[in-house]
Structures are given as structure tokens and as C-alpha cells.
Structure 1
Amino acid sequence: MFDRVHHAGIAVGDIQSATDLFADALGLRVDGIRSPRPGGRQQRGADPTDIIDIPIGHSELELNAPAAEGTGVHRFVESRGGVGALHHVCLHTTNMADDVGHLRASGLQQIAAPPDVLAENEPWTDVAFFHPRDCMGILFEIWPTENHHVDMRYQGEGLFTRLASIGVVASDIEKSRHFWTNIIGFRVDMFKSNVLKGGRHVESDNVTVLNLPMGDSGITSVHPNDTDSGTARFLEKYGARAGGTMHHIALATKDVKTAADIVQSRGLQLIGPATDDSAWIHPKSAAGVLIEIVKDDLGKPRPLSPSERARAIRQGKTVGRTNQELASEYGVSEAEVAEILGE
């Protein structure tokens, strides 16, 4: 069972400059136990990389720099102009063998290990990768339970409180919903993006969004409704063949405008002005990664549905509340209160 986003994998061209950006400029802190600066943790498996782990909330930003030319990560970085970009999604599992078995049975091809090794290691209990071709264009990793767990010690300055979500873009909203819910096991947040209404429409970029929370993070699946928007052009350039790819990361903060001012003072460039709810950091100033700054609403009560609001108004009336008081409390007009009460 998947219970949280373990990390957003970011491929970078230079590990030191990327660490300066994602740790220092964003006010976060490198996990020096697992990946001490400056070189980080040396992973020398099928695709050798140097890794820096930067915890945020209960997740991490994992920087991956190629340890040699010609490797998979090196080719990926070169394909993104030598700078880098978002590389993979990793979820944490509480039962590695069961989840690997489920994904294989669902038709996902496990990679990053020779076929004979895959066949000999049953049940599979190590880190596992699955082919982007079967995962909406996303290199998908799952991480087994271990004793190390991210906690508040690694919040750094506290400017950003958690990895709010990893944004992915897909050409087919129904295929994306099927993959993330029916295969991976997410649930759509119906209050933020009601699938019965086709998801949440974002007019500014003419896209439809599905919010898929897990733990204190989640996946935001974005779907262009035309061919002209920035998101549509991004999908066409980087994910057309597979029908999708990774798009952005969203970092939560208590005050969006303050966070935006701070990161700008540290050399990051915004796309347009910051609002009270969100701001966007340009990928050209962030090692090829599009970063959204969002207001941290974790734990904030969700809005009442119309039926819940009507029921609360009726209950309030039975204990002597006036129509004016009910209208003020529930954000409706007195005429709407009267209609609900049948007056």
C-alpha cells in the first residue's frame, strides 16, 4: 500500500549548483546523514548517479547528477539542454512485495535490473522502477519502508512547509485518472476537482486538473484543453509520444507573497506577479524545473457542499439563530436562507 510521496526526482547537470538552488535559495536543508555535501550519496547501480536528499515535510527533493557520460540520467539531462528537469516520481510503500506484484500484474514493466535478476529476486523487496511507457510518460519508482524517516529537523528556515504536490501533464484525462486511481491507488479529491464535472477547470491556461492527495503531498494531473496554452506546448515538446510527462512541483508556504519576495531576492525569477494563493518560479532560473508556490491549506476545513450547508442552516434555525446570522455564517444571502427554510 502506498502511503505518501517519498520524493520528487530531479535530474541536474551540476550537483553543487543544484544544491545551492534547491537547498539554500529555497531555505531548505540537505540531509547530511544520507547525502553529505558537497558530493552527496554515490549510487553506483544500473544508472550511476550522485544524489543529494533535501527533505521537505514528509517528502524529499532528490537531486540526481550523472556520475558518468552515456548513462540514462546523463542522456536525459542532455535532452533538456544540459541543465536538467523533473525526472521521476517516487512513492513510499508499506508492503514492497505486494505492490511490486500488483504493478507487474497490472501490466507495468519493471526496469533498472536485468531480467534474470528480476526473476531470481522474488518476492521483490528492493527499490523498484517502472517504465514510463506504462506510466503515462512518468518514470515511476517505489520505495520500501526503512528506519529513516523525514521529520521536522530538516525543515531548514521553515519558508516552505511541505511538498504540496508533484504536477504531471497528460493528453487524456480519463487515462490519467485510471492510472493514478485504479492502478496506483490514489483517490481524487472530489471537493477540489469533481470528476463527475470533468475535473477542475483553470481558465488562465485552459487546462483541466485532477487533485490526487496522499499523505501531506500528492499528484496534480493537468490536462490541456487546447493546443495553444503553455501547458499544451510543453506536453507536445516533451510528452507527446508517451501521452504525458512530469510538469512541475508545488511547494507549500504560509505566505505566498513573502516566500516569492524571498526567493526573488536570492536570484529566482517569477512568471508574472505573485498572488495571495500562488506564484510560479521560471524553470530557466530553477535548473529546468517549473516550481509553483502555493498557500498551505493542509488541515484547513473543506468548504461545505450545498446539501451540507442547507442541513446546517436548518439545524441552526432550530436553536434560534436568525436568518441574518445564518446568512453571515454560511456565506449566503438572507433570501437563500429563506428559500432553504421554505419561508
Structure 2
Amino acid sequence: MSVMVEELRARIAAIDSEIQLQRRLLEKLERDKNLAQRQLNAALDPVARLPLEISSEIFLQALPTSPSEEQDIPTVLLRICHAWADIALDTPRLWTTVCIHFPCGDHFAEVLPIWFRRARNFPLSVSIFLCGPSSNWNHRVSDELWRHGGQLKYLEILDNDDLDSDDDSDTIDLFGDTPSVSLKLLQTLTIRCQHQRRVYRASQILQLLRGAPNIVEYVSDRVWTGNNQELESLVVPTLRRVIFRETSHGDDEIFRYLSLPALGALSLPMHYISGGILLACVQRSAAPLRDLALGWEFNVMDSVQLHECLRLVPSLIRFRMWRPKSHVVTELFTALAASPSLLPDLQDLTIDILDTTNSPSNIPDPSWGTLVRALSTRRVE
């Protein structure tokens, strides 16, 4: 009996050994088959047969043209086949544009560093989409973004703001526990909001500008910065374009804290700053301003302040006024005709007149003749 038991045990052990051997052989055959299949796919795939420079460029052409569009093309390419995944991972520019949608889970804070590593040392374009209350802003994710802030070249915050109509003002905290941000490559900062109840702190917007020593453009659309205490003024020596869009809501008050010696283009709806504040900023900046657009919806700038401001910027080439009062327009025409030294280099004058039912322009006919005389000595379109 014991002899038979030992024989059976030995037989089972031999079978187990043979099974292990066959498993290893099967695994090797599976690997060989996968390798052969990849080689076959590469031989049949025209993209895989191309030089990396060309196949990478083809993949780059598949990216959306706007940074704010969905940027899932790179992850889709990873799932096609091994050859395409290798090309995608060897093309860092595929990973330089990132869209972050709030609300999102904390796991995205783990995904971002992987995405950024694949971009290697290339500059990044990041768009943040925020929906709902400020609590949807995920600080774990934004902290990870600020840690990689040194690679940011374009930063865009698009606030869809689907707050309920009964909600009070809702303040966004961009930084959480992050004490400071370094944005040494940042050139363009854009913040757009769909509703006036959302509040972005002026101090934090200034902090972004302060941390960006190479910033060139700041665009603000319907951004409300709340009731600010006096903030420390900031000199931004590289900022060349400041655009506050002409929307019915929007806070351009942050402009009062800026000195912009390189400013070449400025658009201000003049909602929350006065003509005196604009004049003071133009004086202290002494910028070579070439493109200026001003709004008069709240009539906070009189003709005297306007003419003083224009005399400080003889470099101006393009000047636009939207919704100005008729007397401001007629007085500008008179000043242009009386003083050829006012806006001597003006080439493009645009006036968007506030229409009324009975009188589309409210500007007397003789004033148009004055304008013609004023512009006859200038190369104006």
C-alpha cells in the first residue's frame, strides 16, 4: 500500500512539473505571437513605417486647433496599437495641451504629473473649466498644476458658472494652501466668467501677474473682483496687451493697481474705474500705447480727461470708442480739427455709437464735417 502511494505522489509531482514546463512554453509562444503580430502590424501600418518625425507630425495634426477644446487625442492614440502608442509617447508636443474640468476627482491630481512628464520640457497650455459653485474647484489638482507652473506658457480659466439664480456671490480661491506660484514661462493669462456673482480675488490675480516675469497678455471677461481693500501697486514691465472685454458685466478695477511701461494695446469698458484713474495709470506707465479702446456705458470719463489722456499717447495708431455720449464724440472731433498734434499718427478711428429709436447717432451733421477736416491731414481709415 505504501509503495503505491509513493508512486502516485511521484507521478503527480512529475505531472505538475510537466504542467509548469508547458505553461512556460505557452507563455513564450504567446510572447512570440504578440511580437510577430506587432511586427506584422508595423509592416502593414503605413504610419509605423514612416520616420518618427513624419508620423509625429501626423499625430500633431489630429490635435484640436483651440486649447480650450477636448484634448483626449493623445490617450486615444495610446489605445490603438503598440506602434502608435510608442509614437505618441515619443512625441512630447502631443502632451503640452491640457484641459481640466472642475468638478473632478482627486485621482486627476495623480494623472497630471504623468501627463506633464510626457510633455518633457516643452511649454504647457492649460485650460481650466469650472462649473457650479466654488467648492467644485479641486485644490489637490490645482496644487499639482501650480507645482508645474514653471512650464506654463498659456493659462486659461473658463468659468461656465451654472450657479442657481438664488445663490449669493461665490468667491474662488485659486491657490488654497499654495503660498506662492512661479510662472516663469507664462505669456498669456485669460480669465472668463459667465456670471457676475462669481468673485475672483484681485489679490490673487495680481499674484498670478507677479509670478509671471515674462507675461505679455492679460485678458479678462466678466470677471468680478469684489470690493477690494487697497492693494499694493504692481509694475509689470513685460505686459503689452491688457484686454477687458466690453461685456455688460465685468470688473476692470484691477487696472488701478497696475503700472505697465511696455503696454501697447489696452481695452477698458470703464465700468468701475474713472477717467482720473485711467489718466493716472497712463501717466505713471508712460507706455508706447498704439491701440486703445474705451467704453462709456457708465459715463465716467469727461472730454477733458479724454483729451489729456490722448495727448499723453502720441504713439496711438488705433483708437476705438464704444457707446460714447454724443457730446464726447463731437468734442473729440473739434479737438482733432483744432490740434493736428493730437493723435498725429492715428490710422484707424472706430466709434460704436449708442443708437436710439428716434436719432441713430445724436451727433449734429456739422460735426461730421469737422471730422472730415480733422482726418484730412491724417492717414486714417
TM range (shorter): under 0.3
* TM-score, normalised via structure 1 length: 0.24
TM-score normalised by L of structure 2 = 0.22
Structure with bigger gyration radius: 2
Higher strand proportion (structure 1 or 2): 1
